[in-house]
A and B are shown apart, each in its own frame.
Chain A
Amino acid sequence: MTAPQTPEAPQPGADPQGAPAPAAGDRQVPQYVYGVTVADAAPPAQATGLDGNPVSLVAHGPVAAVVSDLPQGRPLGERADLLAHQGVLEALISEGTAVLPFRFGAALTSADAVRQELLEPNGERLAEVLRALDGKVELRLKGTYVQENVLREVMADDPEIASLNERLRSIPADAADAAYYDRVRLGELIARALEQRRDQDGQALLESLAPLAEHVVARTPMREEDVVDASFLVDHERREEFEQAVEKHAADRAERVRLRLIGPLPPYDFVPET
């Protein structure tokens, strides 16, 4: 895997002479790095980078960094910046190109720096991770309780919650503020009850889907009424099977849980931490 340059159309950025439009001596412009892909990949056809800058590849050895010029004179972090970052990576994925996503905010001082400081010292390792992830996509599953139905369950199962709710209901509306702390208490009990349910329901979902994936990363859901938030690394061969399994779970639990499947995503959750 050491063919550094492909014979076909020179990649802008891969070859300094073929650098795109504005200005020679352009090579010293700081480069924003979206991710790393294989050296013979093509830049995404369907996406532009930060501030609409063209995306190019800086190749070295078996790998290539996906880069664009870094916008000058302003800090990054706006919504549009995040969308651009995600858009470039998603375009690559949808074009069938394996890519290791970088966390938002990576930049180097120039295309040369990308080659010398990022790709030269880390190329072999990056190539290895790329090979391991080739043909696999990340799918993220989020589940949320159908609030009304699950709250009814909670009330039916927990006498303390039911009676506290009963009591608070008997308080006339114009005196409701006096019961402020009771209402907080009621809400707290409900939140706890939901958490217990979530532990069971979420675990059951994870356990039945895990065998269809290569790896699973489960997160603690953000909100009390969330059931599950997990990312699965799924081999392309098994993607349909996986999606059908999710579909079946969603149908079986439609009364209680709404499932949402996000992706395919760049394998954010499955790249090495360092």
Chain B
Amino acid sequence: MTGPIAQQTSGSNYVQRGGSGGGLADVVDLILEKGLVIDLYARVALVGIEILTIDVRIVVASVDTYLRFAEAVNRLDLANNGASQGLPQFLGGAQESGAKKKTRGALEGAQERLKETFGSSDEDEDEDEGKEKQPSRRSRSKKEDDE
């Protein structure tokens, strides 16, 4: 007999437990990629599964990751002072929602930062246009890197 799933070893303060009817994130790759496969002609084709699989398998885009690491070390000393949002939280959300969404988020983030930096001054149209090209160039090079 298997004991109750939620059962914990005594004084388990360090190990986080998961997987008991809870989140999919911990097991979704197993469900989709492991387990026995019926390989019979009678198998019903199920549309939609491939898409899901791809979403899960995409490893977080490397350039994005690198930039986040760079930011993280940049903030290291400040981080002692309090509530900075750590990398694990950020990536944790991305793992389930898929890399596509995350990439979009990162691009939006970049645009927002540009607005912060340059947006308030309307005086110099030319310069603004010049700067606006950066994000698109960046996203292009990012794609190339990812491939």
Contact = CB atoms under 8 A, between A and B. Distances in A.
Q: Which 8 A-B pairs have the closest CB atoms?
A: A187-B66, A77-B48, A250-B14, A262-B19, A268-B34, A103-B35, A187-B69, A75-B48
B35 to A, nearest CB: 4
Contacts of A144: 88
A198 interface: no
A77 to B, nearest CB: 3
A86 B20 contact: no
By size class, the interface of chain B is: 35 or more
A112 B36 CA distance: 20
Contacts of A70: 44
Interface of B: 1-5, 9, 11-21, 24, 26-28, 30-40, 42-44, 46-49, 51-52, 59-60, 62-63, 65-74, 76, 79, 86-88, 91, 95, 114, 117, 134, 138
Interface of A: 30, 33, 35-36, 70, 75-79, 82-83, 85-87, 90, 93-96, 100-109, 113, 117-118, 137, 140, 142, 144, 147-148, 151-152, 154-155, 161, 165, 168-169, 174, 177, 180, 183-188, 190-191, 222-225, 231, 236, 239-240, 243-244, 246-247, 250-251, 254, 258-266, 268-269, 271-272, 274
A154 B2 CA distance: 42
B21 A105 contact: no
A186 B27 contact: no
Given A105-B46, A151-B76, A184-B63, A140 B26 contact: yes
A151 B74 CA distance: 10
Nearest to B47: A75
A63 to B, nearest CB: 12
A113 B42 CA distance: 8
Nearest to A178: B134
A75 B69 CA distance: 39
A264 B44 contact: no
Contacts of B11: 247
A247 B15 CA distance: 6
A225 B13 CA distance: 22
A76 B46 contact: yes
B7 to A, nearest CB: 9
B1 A96 contact: yes
Contacts of B26: 140, 142, 260, 262
A36 B97 CA distance: 31
A106 B37 contact: yes
A30 B68 CA distance: 48
A269 B16 contact: no
A147 B88 contact: yes
23 contacts: A75-B46, A77-B49, A82-B24, A82-B31, A86-B31, A94-B20, A96-B2, A103-B37, A106-B38, A107-B44, A108-B38, A140-B19, A147-B88, A165-B74, A177-B134, A187-B67, A188-B62, A190-B66, A222-B59, A240-B9, A260-B16, A261-B16, A265-B30
